[in-house]
Amino acid sequence: MEYLGIKIEKPKVAFFDFTCCEGCQLQITNKEDTLIDLLSLVEIVNFREISSDKNNDYDIAFIEGAISRQDQIDRIKKIRKNAKLLISLGTCACSGGVNSLINTHDTKDAVTEVYGKHKIDTLPVKSAKEIVKIDFEIPGCPINKKEFENIVVHLITGADFSFKKYPVCVECKQNLNHCLLDENKICLGPITRAGCNAPCPGGKLPCYGCRGPAEEHNWPALKQTLIEYGFTLEQIQEKTSFFNMLTEVTSNES
């Protein structure tokens, strides 16, 4: 790649997966219309979903998935050591995601029923930042394609980027969606960070808060509204803890 006749080296980029469904990486590989433009900015040296090549010489590492085993702890520490920038990709890496629900349940009987006496190497689920220093987080389950592109351009070229301060509720209204609270559903759009363009409420599925708290939110007001709609504190807590992204906001108020 050249700019004004000067050769500019592309940063070497690697993708790694831990405890996850790899849906966020799939979002990236599915970018048919803009994938070529994105690849022109970087040199991908490690990305299991698109190539069997493996190279530990990289500048930027994206990690998807929660940390749930000792070997994963060892592996992410090695990745951190190699990477100039380490970026959490998706809610599982950012907060533990749905996987973190196991931390709130006694699963011993269930594990025994499925695996019998076979030894299972597992630990309480943690987010990536609980193990190593993370330089940037990209939330979402899965990530938003356009937002990911904008962040990559920001990281590589310095172009302006900032997360939306307002909640998903704003995008929902912009899309003329019918409010799901009026359909007796707990929707966390009023306190969840926008940037996804509200695909879940648009499909009649209430927001579960996978993008974390909006900078401009009012959790006490939403909580009171949900109670007035007849929901119990237990029902509300179940929703806000689903992705473990809103725990810090709601734990003192639920």
CATH code, domain carrying 102: 3.40.50.700
Residues 62, 34 within the same domain: yes
Residue 84 lies in a domain: yes
Which range of residues forms the domain containing residue 231? 168-250
Residue 104 lies in a domain: yes
pTM: 0.90
Determine the distance from the C-alpha atom of residue 137 to the mean position of all C-alpha atoms in its chain, rounded to a whole number.
Answer: 8
Residue 163 lies in a domain: no
Residues 150, 35 within the same domain: yes
Residue 224 lies in a domain: yes
Residue 25 lies in a domain: yes
Residue 214 lies in a domain: yes
pLDDT at 6: 54
Residues 21, 146 within the same domain: yes
Residues 194, 142 within the same domain: no
End residue of a domain, out of 136, 157, 178: 157
Q: Residue 60: CB partners within 8 Å, gap ≥ 6?
A: 11, 12, 13, 14, 42, 83, 84, 85, 87, 155
**Residues 82-124: pLDDT tens digits?**
999 999 999 999 999 999 999 988 877 777 888 888 888 889 9
pLDDT at 8: 59
Residue 246 near residue 208 (C-beta atoms within 8 A):
no
- pLDDT tens across the length of the chain (254 residues): 554 455 557 899 999 999 999 999 999 988 677 777 877 889 999 999 888 888 999 999 999 999 999 999 999 999 999 999 999 999 999 999 999 999 988 877 777 888 888 888 889 999 999 999 999 999 999 999 999 999 999 988 889 999 999 999 999 999 999 999 999 999 999 999 999 999 999 999 999 999 999 998 999 999 999 999 999 999 999 999 999 999 888 876 55
Residues 50, 127 within the same domain: yes
End residue of a domain, out of 157, 186, 220: 157
Residues 152, 196 within the same domain: no
Residues 25, 103 within the same domain: yes
Residues 135, 192 within the same domain: no
Domain count for the chain, please give it.
2
Residue 162 lies in a domain: no
End residue of a domain, out of 128, 157, 186: 157
Q: Across-strand partners of 6?
A: 3
Residues 114, 149 within the same domain: yes
Element (H, E) at 46: strand 43-46
Residue 123 lies in a domain: yes
Residues 139, 24 within the same domain: yes
Backbone φ and ψ for 63, nearest 5 degrees, come out as: -120, 130
Residues 107, 230 within the same domain: no
Q: Residue 111: CB partners within 8 Å, gap ≥ 6?
A: 120, 122
Residues 110, 134 within the same domain: yes
